[in-house]
Structure 1
C-alpha cells in the first residue's frame, strides 16, 4: 500500500507524522542510484550494529544521511515558494491538519 501524501506532495504521512518526500524533479536514473545507495547504506548500518562496530556504524549512518540529502528528504527543502518545512511534525500541529 503506497504511503499517504499531503496534497502538495511534499510529505508522506506515517502514523500521523509528516516525513519529507523525495524531490520529484530528480531524474529517474539519479533517483534510482540514490535509492540504491540508501538501501546499501541501511544494510551497512545493520551489519555494523550486528558486529558491534561503532566506527563502521558511523560511516554507514553518514552514507544514509548523504543519500537522503541527495533525494531531498533532508537538508535544504526542494521547493522554492518559501513555505516552511514541517518534516517530522505531527500532522495535527501543522496547516496540513485542515486539509
Structure 2
C-alpha cells in the first residue's frame, strides 16, 4: 500500500520522476504478491482470465445472478 500511496502523492504533486519510481514499486509489489507475472500455480483449471462469464462454463451461474444482462 505504501507504493500505491506514493503513486497518489506523486500524481497530486505532479512529480513525474516520483510517479515513475512509485509505479515501478507497485509493479514489484504486485509481482511479489502473485498478482502479476507468470502463473505460479498448476491446478489444471483453464485460464479464464479476460473472458466474459457468459462465455465460460459459468454461464448458467452468471445468468442466474440478479441484474445480469
Decide which of 30, 33, 37 is 1:68's aligned counterpart.
30
Unaligned segments of structure 2, at least 5 residues: 62-69
**CA distance, structure 2, for counterparts of residue 53 and residue 86 of structure 1:** 38
Q: Quote the RMSD (CA, aligned, Å).
A: 2.1
Alignment of 1:58 onto 2:58: no
**Structure with more of its chain in strand, by fraction:** 1
**Structure with more of its chain in helix, by fraction:** 2
Alignment coverage as a number of residue pairs: 61
TM-score of the superposed pair, with normalisation by structure 2: 0.67
TM-score of the superposed pair, with normalisation by structure 1: 0.50
Cα contact 1:48–1:56 (8 A) shared by 2: yes
Q: Please state how far the C-alpha of 1:93 moved relative to its aligned partner.
A: 3.8
Higher-Rg member (1/2): 2
Cα contact 1:45–1:60 (8 A) shared by 2: yes
